[in-house]
Amino acid sequence: MPLAEIGDLITPAATRGRGVGAFNVIQLEHAEAIVTGAERVGAPVVLQISENTVAFHRGLLAPIGRACLAIAEAATVPVAVHLDDHHPRGFGA
């Protein structure tokens, strides 16, 4: 399933009176577990990467960001990846 945009997840959910879970990722295993849970229930999900997560990874966003994108792209449910707290360098950093 292709990587989804948050709006593509939230708009249909709001129309049905539902929400979309958004969960913070700290390590790769968290992203895998979050997506596995979403797949088991057939629900879309948002993986969030915070500035604290980037700090945990020695200030390197790219490895955890790219890993989350790869997990999202391989998922069988729609998954969006959100860079929380407005990290100034983006995923290419």
* Helical axes 28-41 vs 62-74, angle rounded to 10°: 20
- First-to-final CA distance of the chain: 26
Active site residue ranges: 84
